[in-house]
Amino acid sequence: MILQRPVRYLLSLLRRRDPFALVILIGDNITIGPNTAMRSGRIVSSPRGSIVIGDWCSIGRNVAILGVTHDPESPTGPHRRIREGPVRIGDNVWIGDNVLIAPNVSIGDNAVIGANVVVRDDVPQGSYLRNITVIRHGR
């Protein structure tokens, strides 16, 4: 079951697991399941860019989970376009250090995301993602 709590409660819950963790939550459209731990990073949501993180997830240091970001193909300036969309992270997902998860991404249950990866596409359930390669578990 997914718990919905005020940001202040979520921040204290995440910090209890690691008193040195610094997690920045931006937006009201964030849902984090019970027993999920995050070492440090930021989670950014928007009205069309909700973030849902499942139960028993382990999220490393300096991780960015973004429901909204700038469009990398749009020049900077006052007319810059943004990209926004939901991010769904399943149950029992392990996310390594220095990972960026872009908008419109779904990560299936029991997936592993290695360190230093930019996740721009969906990750199937039970997969390992390292660098740019998705490897099916057990095949």
pLDDT, the chain, mean: 82
What pLDDT was estimated at residue 57? 95
b/e per residue 82-102 (b: at least 16 CB within 10 A): ebbbbbbbbbbbebbbebbbb
Would you state the pLDDT for residue 24?
Answer: 78
Q: Annotated catalytic residue: which of 16, 17, 48, 70?
A: 70
124 pLDDT band (50/70/90 cuts)?
Answer: very high
Query: CATH number of the domain at 7-132, please?
Result: 2.160.10.10
Whole-angstrom distance, CA of residue 47 vs CA of residue 35: 25
- Which residue blocks in the chain are alpha helix, DSSP H? 7-17
The reply to whether 79 belongs to the active site is: no
**Confidence band, pLDDT 50/70/90 cuts, at residue 46:** confident
pLDDT 10s digits, 61-108:
999 999 988 877 777 777 778 889 999 999 999 999 999 999 999 999
Instruction: Round the CA-based radius of gyration of the chain to a whole number and report it.
Output: 15
- The tokens for 122 are 């969906």
CB neighbourhood size of 81 (10 A): 10
Instruction: Report pTM.
Output: 0.79
